[in-house]
Amino acid sequence: MNKPNFDFPSDKLHRLMLESARRSSSLHRQFLQVRQDSLQNMHSIIQMQIAAGLPLKHPGQDSSTAQGSYTAHALFTNDQLDAFGTGQISKCLGPAFARYDAHRIPRIPNGDLKMMSRVRSITGTRGNFSAPSSIVVDYDVPADAWYLQEGVYPDMPYSLYMEIALQPCGFLSAYLDTYALVPYEAYFFRNLDGSAQVLERVDLRGQTITTHARMITSVVSSGTVIQKFAFELVCAGKTVYAGESTFGYFAAQTMLNQVGLDGGQTVLPTIKTNRSLSEAAHRLDLGPYQNAPAGRPYERLAAGRLHFIDEVSMARKGGRFGQGYIYASRAVNPRDWFYPFHFYQDPVMPGSLGVEAILEAMQVYALANDLGRGLLSPRFGMVAGATPMLWRYRGQITQQHKLMELEVDIQRVEREAGQVTIRGDASLWVDSLRIYEVKNAAVAILEAKE
């Protein structure tokens, strides 16, 4: 769920963010009280079951078994989520939403980018944005998912962790009928910023990931809505990913006037403005990095739908931290695979895939510097327990754009037993406008488990 493209006055956005933060504390206390009451009720039910000699069941559990240890009750089924993605919204959210069926309305991703299998529960009242609200969503990871087959190693890409976390936030926003707060025929829903931390690496093949998300604040000003959410992803009883993210509803006219992160000023990649860095950098041939060396089958870049950069230049030293610099670019292809899936009637490149492109550039840096040389069978993966990654989006990549560029300033390279970690800060441009900023991006090189 991603990317804003708007000419939104920075002081107004700042005021909305401050108001959102002010409301966060109060709503968070209310949410904790509701959660405590729910747990107490569940405890009472369990005690009654024990006293009656009844078998204990997980909430939503039925007698059949699917992925995971139980089949969850679905408040909204997979078919209903498909209807929300590309069909009539009323077929998902009910007759009250029929008035939106004839309009272009913000949707969740569909097809290969839909990372929701069912909605298990929602708390909150439609139209009431001052009370706590939350959502619980399952995503069943296919053992043969396209991203597992097309990736170098059967790991879920970082970008799809982001999508699994963020898509339920968008659905909760829709369920609460945020559309009623804005002229729905002309508004767009975009991710603005966020921070998230990988807490644990888990083999997700054939597993069910459950997202718990809650709306922290919802602030309305002059027809613009800013909403903040908190989320955590749980799999096999472990919390694997957690963070917060902010979204906004923006008018169509606002979307036409893209000003980026720098208020419309031209701030180019450093390699284009710093002569010494430009002279130190050299262009890399990606060919050798797309083919793994003998005996090291995972030491390469991804191909197909997980390959996002074409031209790369690197300086082994230099950059903002003096530890290295990498620049990459890619021509925008209006026929790219993700446009039909993100979103229906509103095709834009997911911001999460821009983040994935940044991580791919960091992988190129690792391969070019042979950072995995001390491992027997190196492969790339996420960094668990790291400082949270922060992202900020102030623009979008559409089918009409021509060129995506990005740069990464390497912060440092860390070595420990069985792992090498590369950390950096990054920016991403479209047609010379800086629209994404990512801090504390991290890539791990690990020993592959055969």
Which domains does the chain show, CATH number per domain? 10-256 (3.10.129.10), 270-447 (3.10.129.10)
| Calculated CA dihedral for residues 157, 160, 165, 166, nearest 10 degrees | 140
Round the average pLDDT of the chain to a whole number and report it: 87
Q: What local confidence, expressed as pLDDT, does residue 256 receive?
A: 77
Per-residue pLDDT of the chain (450 residues; tens, 9 = 90+): 444 444 444 555 555 655 555 555 555 554 444 444 444 443 433 343 333 333 333 333 332 333 433 445 899 999 999 999 999 999 999 999 999 999 999 999 999 999 999 999 999 999 999 999 999 999 999 999 999 999 999 999 999 999 999 999 999 999 999 999 987 677 899 999 999 999 999 999 999 999 999 999 999 988 889 999 999 999 999 999 999 999 999 988 788 788 999 999 999 999 999 999 999 999 999 999 999 999 999 999 999 999 999 999 999 999 999 999 999 999 999 999 999 999 999 999 999 999 999 999 999 999 999 999 999 999 999 999 868 999 999 999 999 999 999 999 999 999 999 999 999 999 999 999 999 999 999 999 999 986
Rounded CA-CA distance 313/315 in Å is 7
| pLDDT tens digit sequence for 241-281 | 999 999 999 988 788 788 999 999 999 999 999 999 999 99
Tokens standing for residue 190: 């975009």
CB 382 within 8 A of CB 36: no
Q: Which amino acid is at 426?
A: A
Rounded CA-CA distance 434/195 in Å is 19
Rounded CA-CA distance 268/130 in Å is 42
| pLDDT tens digit sequence for 12-55 | 555 565 555 555 555 555 444 444 444 444 343 334 333 333 33
Q: At what angle do helices 158-175 and 351-368 cross, to 10 degrees?
A: 170
pTM summary value: 0.86
| pLDDT tens digit sequence for 205-245 | 999 999 999 999 999 988 889 999 999 999 999 999 999 99
Rounded CA-CA distance 384/392 in Å is 21
N-terminal to C-terminal alpha carbon distance within the chain? 34
